[in-house]
Structure 1
Amino acid sequence: MKRKMRLITSVLALTMATSALTACGSDTKKDAANTPAPGKTADAGAKDTITALLPPVSPNFQKTFDQISKEFTEKYPNLTLKIEPASWEDVKQKLDTQVNAGSPPDIAFGGSETIPKYLQQGLLMDISDVITPEMSGDYDKTPLEYMKKGNALYGLPAYMEVHALGGNKEFLEKAGIDWKKIQQNGWTYDEFREAIKKGVVKEGDKTRYGFVFATKGVAAIDYLAIMAKNAGMPHKFTKDMKYAYTSKNYLGLLKDLRQLIDDGSMPKELSSVDAGKRWNMLLTGQTMVTGKGLAVFENSAKTNNAKIKANDGSAVKDSIPLDYIVLPAPTFQGAKASSSTVVDGYLTFRGKKDPTAEHKANVMKAAYFLSSGKVAATTNNDLFAAQITQSGKKEAANMKVDRNPDNIAAVENMLKNATPARSDIPTELEAKAIKLETEVIIPKLQAVLAGELKPEAMYEAVKAAAIQTFGADGVVKD
């Protein structure tokens, strides 16, 4: 009888142990599904450090770095997130230097359009094999597609926004411009040209311009690239992989952009205007319309307005109250609107040697932590950008956002015409296009804007370089 009881007790103990193990296994799977750990629980694994190079994504983003690192380690006690801050002007140079040395950070914030460039250098890390369905399912489909090349995934998106223009409401209305109509229906180049002429005001030796766009430094290519999408060239390559910037539309666009300077609507010194100066000119009343403009500018304007009202000396010098209005870019030569959509995010890199499976999974955890949930919700609210993850939307539900409803509607309207992602363009073609852009297009555009080169001469130079790069049959001929 005693032997029988011992046998029953042993069976019961084994059954309970098996049940406990099964329960633990279920909890582990559940935890893995609800955390950014691909197949691992938050406290599993050896100690590891993930490095990240991050610019001021939003006005307050860099102020939260210590808190972000702390909360990441609280979630993953064995992991450390080491963040290196950089300015917008410096981040590209720092990243390029590190990539060229073969020792990039694990994560760097950058535009999805730079993926071909870094992919060509062989140091981007495909994370498609470590991202879980729960994680990938957290993102809106479209922005996630921007981070792909073929079936490979090279990072996670932080936001999807439209490169728009921005205007001073008071100046627009004084010039008799129906900005609400423009927000909903857009405007052609001819309509835009006449409108910004009305915004030019001369007072003594001072001039308020109708339009200013940053064309120096990190913004050197933005002006041309954004406008080209609205000029019948939504991508650098057509669907049959012909380089698009040899089109007659490209020459027409160059002429139009130069014409705005010749009209006096834009400053002759436009080629020296960087992103900071462009924004200061709008804040100080030196221009009616500016570009490129993101939704965050409305928030930045409100913040500066509060400083002006408080008279505490912290506002931008000589700035005036600004009611910021979102405006679409004009369309050129009868082309359909194709809004320049920006998807920036956390690109994932590897060094010269393949990372261990565990380190790769840890980089994935960090990228997901930065681009979802509380971090994403806080950053995107600060940017006035839409949340693109379900976890971010949930966290943002109770966060207040003081945003002009007309601007919200304008952005939503532009997103309807957003330029779609093109993951089908071969990496080698995109890399060659970026090289052509860097070596030919940017310096030639600077010369056109400075009045040192005719648009026709730039067009011929780009055309010749394109034929040399892609071959006579690899470019658009129209």
Structure 2
Amino acid sequence: MKTTKRIIISLLIVLLIATSVVGCSNKGATNSTANSGGQSTKSENAPDTITALLPPITPNFQKNLDQISKDFHEKYPNLTLKIEPASWEDMTQKLDVQVNAGTPPDIAFIGSDGIGKYADTGELLDISKIVTKEMVNDFDPIPLEYMKVGKGLYGFPAYMEPHNLGGNKQFLEEAGIDWRSVQKNGWTFDEFREAIKKGTIKNGNTTTRYGFVFACSGVAAVDYISIFANNAGMPSPFTKDLKYAYTSKNFLKLLEDTRLLIDDGSMPNNLSSVTAAMRWNMFLTGQTMITGKAMEVFEKTANDNNAKLEAKNPSAVQNSIKVDYVNLPVPTFFGNKNQTSVAVDGYVTFRGKKAPSEEHIKNVVKAAYFLASGKIAAETCADGFLPNVTKSGREASKDMQININPDNLALQNKLLQEAAPARPDIPIELSAKANKLMNEVIVPRFQALLSNEITPQQMYDDVKNAAIQAFGEDGIVKD
């Protein structure tokens, strides 16, 4: 009997020890689960950290990063938003390195046109089944479509901004250009070509002011190609029946027209080395009548520099002049109608190589929505002269004063109404191939064209041959 009792007691002790070990093991697994990977059974209120890689979206955005993190933690006491700032120049490289290592941030601020590139890596996070109805209904439908590929939703838009050109009002009027008529009615390539000829000033053989300068150094060349292609009958790299569009004869004509502007002397012959910072400096110092790509925030930046000049503030751009900034539309080509190229940039969600826990995904969605809506959206759009794309952002900004020129605002609204539609129907694999072709073939050949090392026909032939290899004979436009 005593022996039986001893056996029973021994078994109970073993059972209690085993239970204790299992309990500790489970507790340890829950607490040590990585923020961005590994399945877990975390409770909804368990501590968690969400990481974000954010550039200077507007002039004052990065100054508020600490406050943004603090406000997020106050709203969600168990959550921490850890923000890594990046310059625009470093943003793509930093993100690519992290993605290639399989350790991307939970959220990164990028253009919607980059979603296809990263979706092909398998490291984007589809939040379409996690977002709430209230979140979705807060966004304007069109910009939200730009954050989709197929049926997947990969983040939230911060704004939808028309790509346009920027002009110096005084120089435009001196050249006899009716900029108000251009804002209202647009202009053709031929009209644009003649206008920038008039705006080009020479002193002997030296050009002291160019009619038009566009940043085309490095990946900035992508902007020139895509923005102008929109108004040349190619609003997307793919037609509606998913044929690659840049093998159209219109693409060849667009390349020929680009060479014309350089050969006219209206654009510098070193355009391939002009960076975004250089072209803006040229504009503020009176070396350019029209600049591109232009963004809405340029008006605010020009106004701020004007105020510094008036106050004799030494922080004004060196050798700059007073500039009354005018928004201008991109010209149309070959009888095509205007289809505005738009920048729909936003907070894109990543998952990394390991599958994140369900609770972590929910927390990432909370953070992305927090950044893209309400007060933060209102302040971001006000600082950048950008239109709000959320109801909550518009409500939060109703008492904010935005000193945008009424003529420029009217053009902004007009161009947004004429925006090219989003193309979530383009499969990820096609989008990835198009991105690769753009970066590996089109951009380097385009820069060779700008430097007069190859002809438009040679570039077109190279692009067409590469497109056939990528998409097949039946996968490209033939006209």
Give TM-score scaled by structure 1 length: 0.90
Q: How far has the Cα of 1:318 moved from its partner?
A: 0.7
Tell me whether 1:288 sits opposite 2:289 in the alignment.
Answer: yes
The answer to whether the 8 A contact 1:44-1:78 is kept is: no
The answer to whether the 8 A contact 1:377-1:396 is kept is: yes
How many residue pairs align between the two structures?
Answer: 436
Q: Tell me the residue number matched to 1:128.
A: 128
Q: Tell me the residue number matched to 2:83.
A: 83
Tell me whether 1:458 sits opposite 2:435 in the alignment.
Answer: no
Q: Tell me the residue number matched to 2:22.
A: none
- What is the alpha-carbon distance in structure 1 between the residues aligned to residue 417 and residue 375 of structure 2? 27
Q: How far has the Cα of 1:44 moved from its partner?
A: 5.3
- What is the alpha-carbon distance in structure 2 between the residues aligned to residue 238 and residue 131 of structure 1? 30
Q: Tell me the residue number matched to 2:62.
A: 62
The answer to whether the 8 A contact 1:89-1:218 is kept is: no
The answer to whether the 8 A contact 1:89-1:217 is kept is: no
Q: Tell me the residue number matched to 2:95.
A: 95
Q: Tell me the residue number matched to 1:46.
A: 46
Matches within 5 A, 1:202-241: 202-203=202-203, 205=206, 207-241=208-242
> Which residue identity is paired with 1:52?
A
The answer to whether the 8 A contact 1:107-1:367 is kept is: yes
- What is the alpha-carbon distance in structure 1 between the residues aligned to residue 110 and residue 221 of structure 2? 16
3-state secondary structure, aligned to 1:249:
helix
The answer to whether the 8 A contact 2:446-2:459 is kept is: yes
Q: How far has the Cα of 1:220 moved from its partner?
A: 2.2
Q: Tell me the residue number matched to 2:163.
A: 163
> Which residue identity is paired with 2:299?
E
The answer to whether the 8 A contact 2:200-2:207 is kept is: no
- What is the alpha-carbon distance in structure 2 between the residues aligned to residue 206 and residue 476 of structure 1? 40
CA deviation profile, 1:439-468 (whole Å, cap 9, x unmatched): 100000000001111111000000010111
> Which residue identity is paired with 1:401?
I
- What is the alpha-carbon distance in structure 2 between the residues aligned to residue 147 and residue 415 of structure 1? 17
Q: How far has the Cα of 1:351 moved from its partner?
A: 1.4
3-state secondary structure, aligned to 1:290:
strand
3-state secondary structure, aligned to 2:138:
coil
The answer to whether the 8 A contact 1:53-1:86 is kept is: yes
Matches within 5 A, 1:250-269: 250-269=251-270
- What is the alpha-carbon distance in structure 1 between the residues aligned to residue 203 and residue 158 of structure 2? 43
> Which residue identity is paired with 1:93?
Q
Q: Tell me the residue number matched to 1:307.
A: 308
Q: How far has the Cα of 1:373 moved from its partner?
A: 0.5
Matches within 5 A, 1:395-474: 395-474=396-475
> Which residue identity is paired with 2:357?
T
Give TM-score scaled by structure 2 length: 0.90
CA deviation profile, 1:317-360 (whole Å, cap 9, x unmatched): 11111111000000111111111011000000011111111111
- What is the alpha-carbon distance in structure 2 between the residues aligned to residue 410 and residue 125 of structure 1? 36
3-state secondary structure, aligned to 1:137:
helix
Q: How far has the Cα of 1:98 moved from its partner?
A: 0.3
Tell me whether 1:365 sits opposite 2:366 in the alignment.
Answer: yes
> Which residue identity is paired with 1:450?
S
The answer to whether the 8 A contact 2:219-2:439 is kept is: no
- What is the alpha-carbon distance in structure 1 between the residues aligned to residue 219 and residue 53 of structure 2? 17
Q: How far has the Cα of 1:149 moved from its partner?
A: 1.4
Q: Tell me the residue number matched to 2:273.
A: 272
Q: How far has the Cα of 1:154 moved from its partner?
A: 0.3
Q: How far has the Cα of 1:218 moved from its partner?
A: 3.8
The answer to whether the 8 A contact 1:231-1:333 is kept is: yes
Q: Tell me the residue number matched to 2:182.
A: 182
- What is the alpha-carbon distance in structure 1 between the residues aligned to residue 242 and residue 362 of structure 2? 35
> Which residue identity is paired with 1:116?
G
Q: How far has the Cα of 1:203 moved from its partner?
A: 3.7
3-state secondary structure, aligned to 2:177:
coil
> Which residue identity is paired with 1:426?
P
> Which residue identity is paired with 1:216?
S
- What is the alpha-carbon distance in structure 1 between the residues aligned to residue 354 and residue 369 of structure 2? 23
3-state secondary structure, aligned to 1:298:
helix
CA deviation profile, 1:23-51 (whole Å, cap 9, x unmatched): xxxxxxxxxxxxxxxxxxxx951111110
> C-alpha root-mean-square deviation of aligned residues, in Å?
1.0
Q: How far has the Cα of 1:308 moved from its partner?
A: 0.8
- What is the alpha-carbon distance in structure 2 between the residues aligned to residue 428 and residue 454 of structure 1? 31
> Which residue identity is paired with 1:394?
E
- What is the alpha-carbon distance in structure 1 between the residues aligned to residue 316 and residue 83 of structure 2? 29
Q: Tell me the residue number matched to 1:146.
A: 146
- What is the alpha-carbon distance in structure 1 between the residues aligned to residue 150 and residue 476 of structure 2? 23
3-state secondary structure, aligned to 2:268:
coil
Consecutive unaligned residues in structure 1, runs of 5 or more: 1-42
Consecutive unaligned residues in structure 2, runs of 5 or more: 1-42
> Which residue identity is paired with 1:45?
N
3-state secondary structure, aligned to 1:173:
helix
- What is the alpha-carbon distance in structure 2 between the residues aligned to residue 450 and residue 225 of structure 1? 19
- What is the alpha-carbon distance in structure 2 between the residues aligned to residue 269 and residue 454 of structure 1? 16
The answer to whether the 8 A contact 2:44-2:359 is kept is: no
- What is the alpha-carbon distance in structure 2 between the residues aligned to residue 397 and residue 412 of structure 1? 17
CA deviation profile, 1:239-275 (whole Å, cap 9, x unmatched): 1111111110000000001110000000111111011
Tell me whether 1:201 sits opposite 2:223 in the alignment.
Answer: no
Tell me whether 1:114 sits opposite 2:114 in the alignment.
Answer: yes
CA deviation profile, 1:57-97 (whole Å, cap 9, x unmatched): 00100011011011111111111111111111100000000
The answer to whether the 8 A contact 2:213-2:271 is kept is: yes
- What is the alpha-carbon distance in structure 2 between the residues aligned to residue 47 and residue 310 of structure 1? 50
> Which residue identity is paired with 1:469?
A
The answer to whether the 8 A contact 1:208-1:285 is kept is: yes
The answer to whether the 8 A contact 1:299-1:383 is kept is: yes
Q: How far has the Cα of 1:395 moved from its partner?
A: 0.7
Matches within 5 A, 1:315-354: 315-354=316-355
Q: How far has the Cα of 1:206 moved from its partner?
A: 5.0
Q: How far has the Cα of 1:217 moved from its partner?
A: 2.9
Q: How far has the Cα of 1:414 moved from its partner?
A: 1.2
* Percent pairwise identity: 64
CA deviation profile, 1:275-334 (whole Å, cap 9, x unmatched): 111111111100000001111110111111111111120111111111110000001111
